Amino acid sequence: MKIALFDTKSYDKSHFEEANKSFGYDIVYFDAALNKHSAIMARGADVVCPFVNCTVDKDVIDILAEEGVKLIALRSAGFNNTDYRYALEKGIKVVRVPAYSPHAVAEHSFALLLALVRKLTHAYVRTREFNFSLSGLVGMDLYGKTMGIVGTGKIGRSAIDIAKGFGMKVLAYDPYPAKIEGVEYTDLSTLLKSSDIVSLYCPLTNDNRHLINGKTLDDMKDTAYIINTSRGGLIDSEALLEALKARKIGGAALDVYEEEAGIFYTDQSDEGIADDTLARLISMPNVIITSHQGYLTKEALMAISETTLSNVKEFEENKPLTNQVK
């Protein structure tokens, strides 16, 4: 089996090389993201392995099918960038990595939250310039605050455990609620109105795109913070910017952005960015943005590599595909 791995970074290659010692596949690594222009590079491969900022639409799938690709092995939990129904029509199955390290993403969301509410980025910049004044750095306790968890899958549940460790009250919203001790499920509107922090841990679907929009932002407390480590499309970025400008919410910490493709994972320091909304968000003192790195731990990278190659192994041996997107 030959695997074409797209949008490869050095840390991807090193972990896949380590995991592949147990499988022995022929893996070809491409720096380019998978799209209609680069899909031809998959010629001769049985499997393509795209990442979150690749575009696997009908045009790409037509090229892959023509080139003989039999499997799309997503190395991510989300699959909103892949037209999996059309792929199946063309005889190409799609698999994913549903769980690699829920702790990595949940812990990153709290790292963002702490940096935001304790103004750590401002303090760091000051002390680098030998300014040890504390003026303007007053934060808030997390203890006793209400955290609204939107999405209670594995990552959301990990976040709930962390929130409880801080002594926070937890409200949750999920279309498919689970029985979790010490967690009160409620509707989204009530959660937004009642929470001091709202954190998103859900996949992006056609039904929940712009789940956080002008109307739902109006439901939030003026002092509330919003955290998103899931998918950028869950938040209407322009509506968020307007709410921040109008001081309708306290701040935001984002590891994802709805138009991040072509920006995140790249060095834009020489040329800047043309996305005015993102540029204005980055410039705001009560906003922290990281470049979709919530998953980026050595444990998660190894789990992604091993699960991806295990998915390929199941396909090669004609076994039921444990992680198939259907």
CA distances 265 to 101, 112, 209, Å, are 20, 18, 23
The angle at the Cα of 301, spanning 296 to 307, to the nearest 5 degrees, equals 140
Q: pLDDT tens across 168-203, in order?
A: 999 999 999 999 998 999 999 999 999 999 999 999
Q: For 220-254, what is each residue's pLDDT tens digit?
A: 999 999 999 999 999 999 999 999 999 999 999 99
Residues 71, 194 within the same domain: no
What are the respective helix, strand and coil percentages of the chain, to the nearest 5?
35, 15, 50
CB atoms near residue 149 (< 10 Å) = 29
The answer to whether residue 33 is domain-embedded is yes
Q: What are phi and psi of 135, to 5 degrees?
A: -60, 135
- For 142, the token pair is 């997390």
* Helices assigned H by DSSP within 41-136: 58-66, 84-89, 102-117, 120-128
Does residue 186 share a domain with residue 147?
Answer: yes
Residues 155 and 174: beta-carbon distance below 8 Å: no
- The verdict on whether 231 is a catalytic residue reads yes
50-101 pLDDT tens trace: 999 899 999 999 999 999 999 999 999 889 899 999 999 999 999 999 888 8
Same domain? For 188 and 245 the reply is: yes
Assess if residue 326 is contained within a domain: no
Number of folded domains that form the chain: 2
> Using 50, 70 and 90 to split pLDDT, how confident is the model at 261?
confident
Q: Are residues 267 and 166 in the same domain?
A: yes
115 shares a domain with 86: no
Residue pLDDT, tens place only, 99-124: 888 899 999 999 999 999 999 999 99
* Spatial separation of the C-alpha atoms in residues 83 and 74, rounded to whole Å: 12
Which is the catalytic residue, given 75, 108, 157, 231?
Answer: 231
Do both 72 and 116 map to the same domain? no
- In the set 15, 108, 292, 306, the catalytic residue is 292
Task: Say which residues have a Cβ less than 8 Å from residue 197's Cβ, sequence separation at least 6.
Answer: 113, 142, 145, 146, 147, 148, 168, 224, 225, 226, 227
Residue 112 shares a structural domain with residue 210: yes
Domain annotation covers residue 76: yes
**Whose CA is closest to 303, among 129, 104, 121, 94?**
104
Catalytic residue among 75, 108, 157, 260: 260
Measured between alpha carbons, how far is 190 from 173 in angstroms, rounded to an integer?
9
Spell out the alpha helix ranges (H) of 166-320: 188-194, 214-219, 237-245, 276-283, 298-316
Q: Can you give the pLDDT at residue 78?
A: 86
Check if the beta carbon of residue 50 is closer than 8 Å to that of residue 33.
yes
Q: What is the CATH number of the domain that holds 278?
A: 3.40.50.720
Nearest in space to 113 (alpha carbons), one of 237, 224, 244? 224
Residue 322 domain flag? no
Instruction: Give SS3 for 326.
Output: coil
Residues 233 and 173 grouped into a single domain: yes
Q: Are 57 and 31 in contact (CB under 8 A)?
A: no
Residue 205 lies in a domain: yes
Active-site residue, 85 included: no
User: 244 with 146, same domain?
Assistant: yes
Q: How confident is the model at residue 312 (pLDDT cuts 50, 70, 90)?
A: very high
State whether 249 and 304 are in the same domain.
Answer: no
Name, in order, each residue with C-beta under 8 angstroms of 125's C-beta and a sequence gap of 6 or more.
none
Residues 137, 279, single domain; the answer is yes
One-letter amino acid for residue 314 of the chain? E
Q: How far apart, in whole angstroms, are the C-alpha atoms of residue 167 and residue 290?
A: 26
Is the model's pLDDT at 317 over the cut of 90? yes
Cβ pair 172, 184 in contact under 8 A: yes
Distance CA 306, CA 219 (A): 42
260 assigned to active site: yes
Q: Please report whether residue 226 resides in a domain.
A: yes
What pLDDT does residue 101 have? 85
The percent of residues above 90 in pLDDT, for the chain, comes to: 93
Structure confidence at residue 99 (pLDDT): 82
Instruction: Residue 283: give the domain boundaries.
Output: 102-289
Query: Is 325 domain-assigned?
Result: no
CA distance 141 to 280: 28
Residue 324 belongs to a domain? no
Claim to verify: residue 59 and residue 79 sit in the same structural domain: yes
Whole-number Cα distances in Å, 114 to 56, 62, 196, 284 = 36, 46, 13, 17
Q: How many CB atoms lie within 10 A of CB 170?
A: 21
